[in-house]
Amino acid sequence: LTGTSREQRAFQYLLTHAIPGDPHHILQIFDQWSYHCEHLSCVGPDKGERRIVERVLLERAPLRVLELGTYCGYGTVLLAQGLPPGARLYTIEGNPRHAAVAEKVIRLAGFSEQTVELIVGPSEEVIPRLREKHGLMNANLVFMDHWKRCYLRDLQLLESHQLLAEGATILADNVLFPGAPHFLQYAKTCSKYHCKVHRARLEY
């Protein structure tokens, strides 16, 4: 009825209630919106701050992070707030309308372009240009939270363009539901990776 998207409405709620420059509070307000107003397809607090993502960031302390699927910026803020000093996050979003919201969310959280670079475009077109156009030599951590059917294709693109650092961690959300079976099969059988499946509830 308002003519605005769900993501835009969530951002207006953020503007009204969140503390600018406080990433943790911005994530809390996002969670409030998704629990009590409208569902957003974000990684959410159970898999995010309190569990898997936060723990991986603490354990790995990655200096170069690549996120596939920015959506409205929730995962980006979650990743960025856990980065060690001097680290850089590259995040790719194929939907320009979602990217426009995400850009405002990321900057509202206090992250500059030197820390978080948002790249708009289809992942299959952006990944081959990451080194030459965006200066990403390789990534220590890759967080996949975009179209599940693209997980395997994009992992193999990262491999073929030598964009995975030695010992890199690939963190892929929702591989069981809605599911990315071909990606899972490849990761388990190609002998390049040690795999672990983390059981978690769906967000919100």
Q: Which residues are catalytic?
A: 145, 148, 173-174, 203
Pairing of strands 88-93, 116-120: parallel
Q: Given its phi and psi angles, is residue 58 left (phi above 0), alpha (psi -120 to 50 degrees) or beta?
A: alpha
Structure tokens that stand for 147 in this block? 């179209």
Q: What is the largest CA-CA distance in the chain?
A: 52
Beta-bridge mates of residue 101: none
DSSP letter assigned to residue 35 = H
Instruction: Report d(CA 88, CA 86) in Å as an integer.
Output: 7
Q: Are the beta carbons of 79 and 57 closer than 8 angstroms?
A: yes
Which of 203, 7, 3 lies closest to 96 in space, CA to CA?
7
